């Protein structure tokens, strides 16, 4: 899948090129903005976090900041925030998905607030699948090759499906395949192109819902939790060291519709691996919104 290979390549290249920068307080500068060198932690394979992180990198660099993006899995990002090696991450799922990690590292991580309140974990299928609920999936397993295609083994979504969804709905005979988000998206696209049924673990907001004909299976037992919020999390002391940026990020909000449009131009409509030109075009197309983020 060209798009997923491109996403994986972009992630690998960014991880290779990014410099590990410790967030050392430098005191206020003449403008009162504070520390000008910032590191944003980005979860591998989580497009909503990557999209808004690159957006904010572009915005902040135009304001005179030096911003590095550090790509890592979820646990290392939380760990690096707790030790002060990263300044912020923009993809904290609360109150459920990342609760365990925040319980572990929360004493040295600050919550700057939610920027989107429409996040949900899902099991999705092709839109024309003959079922509408997780309750129906077990009885119709043969139509889906008795498998659910998942994402990273350590993801909170994977834990919820494995520990709650599968036993609750009698899906123990299913092969729950986990590897990575790009691999899941590759299998999803291939199945849809072939006109085959497929069940995948997914989440909203995600660009796949605009790109592919999908529907979420109803979860009447609530195994995947309630609606969540996407939060900006910061290292301890960040608000004092970078008060201007902390204030901007604390006020940051983005609707799912805007996020989908940003993700779509990055991951569906663009064939390059350098996102800067497409981000700059998106900013121009949404200038009034972007200007309001730092006003």
pLDDT single digits (tens) 208-249: 988 899 999 999 999 999 999 999 999 999 999 999 999 999
- Cα separation of 256 and 208, whole Å? 13
Q: How many CB atoms lie within 10 A of CB 108?
A: 12
Q: What angle do CA 74, 55, 226 make, to 5 degrees?
A: 50
For the chain, where are the E strands, in sequence order? 37-43, 66-72, 88-94, 109-126, 147-149, 175-177, 199-204, 214-216, 228-235
Q: What class does CATH assign to 119-216?
A: alpha beta
CATH 3.40.190.100 domain residues, the chain: 119-216
Highest mean pLDDT among 32-36, 59-63, 277-281: 59-63
- Cα separation of 65 and 39, whole Å? 10
- Cα separation of 205 and 12, whole Å? 23
Average pLDDT over residues 125-144: 97
DSSP class of residue 220 equals: T
- Cα separation of 86 and 37, whole Å? 11
What is this structure's pTM?
0.76
pLDDT for 33: 65
How do 37-43 and 109-126 pair as beta strands? unpaired
- Cα separation of 181 and 91, whole Å? 15
Categorize the per-residue pLDDT at 100 as very low, low, confident or very high, splitting at 50, 70 and 90: confident
pLDDT in tens, 242-274: 999 999 999 999 999 899 889 988 987 787 778
* Nearest CA among 172, 178, 170, 153 for reference residue 221: 170
Q: How far is CA 123 from CA 43, 132, 158, 163, in A?
A: 21, 11, 11, 14
Q: How far is CA 97 from CA 110, 127, 247, in A?
A: 17, 26, 25
Q: What angle do CA 106, 107, 110 make, to 5 degrees?
A: 65
* Nearest CA among 189, 215, 186, 208 for reference residue 127: 215
Q: What percent of the chain has pLDDT over 70?
A: 89
CATH 3.40.190.10 domain residues, the chain: 2-27+34-118+228-293
Q: Which two tokens stand for residue 88?
A: 């912020």
Architecture label for domain 2-27+34-118+228-293:
3-Layer(aba) Sandwich (3.40)
Q: How many CB atoms lie within 10 A of CB 85?
A: 18
């Amino acid at each position: 899948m060209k798009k997923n290979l491109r996403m994986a390549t972009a992630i690998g290249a960014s991880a290779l090129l990014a410099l590990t920068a410790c967030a050392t307080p430098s005191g206020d500068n003449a403008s009162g903005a504070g520390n000008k060198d910032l590191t944003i932690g980005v979860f591998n394979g989580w497009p909503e976090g990557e999209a808004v992180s690159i957006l904010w990198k572009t915005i902040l660099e135009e304001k005179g900041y030096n911003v590095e993006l550090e790509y890592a899995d979820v646990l290392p990002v939380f760990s690096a925030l707790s030790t002060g090696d990263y300044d912020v991450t923009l993809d904290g799922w609360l109150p459920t998905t990342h609760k365990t990690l925040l319980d572990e590292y929360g004493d040295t991580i600050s919550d700057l607030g939610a920027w989107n309140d429409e996040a949900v974990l899902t099991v999705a299928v092709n839109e024309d699948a003959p079922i509408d609920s997780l309750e129906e999936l077990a009885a119709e397993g043969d139509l889906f090759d008795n498998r659910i295609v998942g994402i990273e083994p350590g993801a909170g979504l994977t834990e919820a499906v494995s520990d709650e969804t599968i036993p609750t709905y009698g899906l123990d005979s299913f092969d729950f395949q986990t590897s990575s988000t790009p691999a899941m998206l590759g299998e999803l696209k291939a199945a849809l192109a072939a006109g085959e049924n497929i069940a995948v673990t997914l989440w909203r907001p995600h660009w796949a819902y605009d790109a592919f004909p999908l529907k979420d299976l109803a979860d009447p037992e609530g195994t995947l939790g309630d609606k969540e919020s996407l939060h900006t999390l910061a290292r301890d002391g960040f608000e004092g060291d970078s008060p201007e940026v902390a204030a901007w990020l604390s006020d940051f909000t983005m609707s799912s519709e805007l996020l989908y449009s940003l993700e779509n131009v990055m991951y569906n409509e663009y064939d390059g691996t350098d996102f800067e030109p497409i981000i700059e075009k998106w900013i121009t197309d949404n200038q009034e919104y972007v200007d309001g983020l730092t006003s």
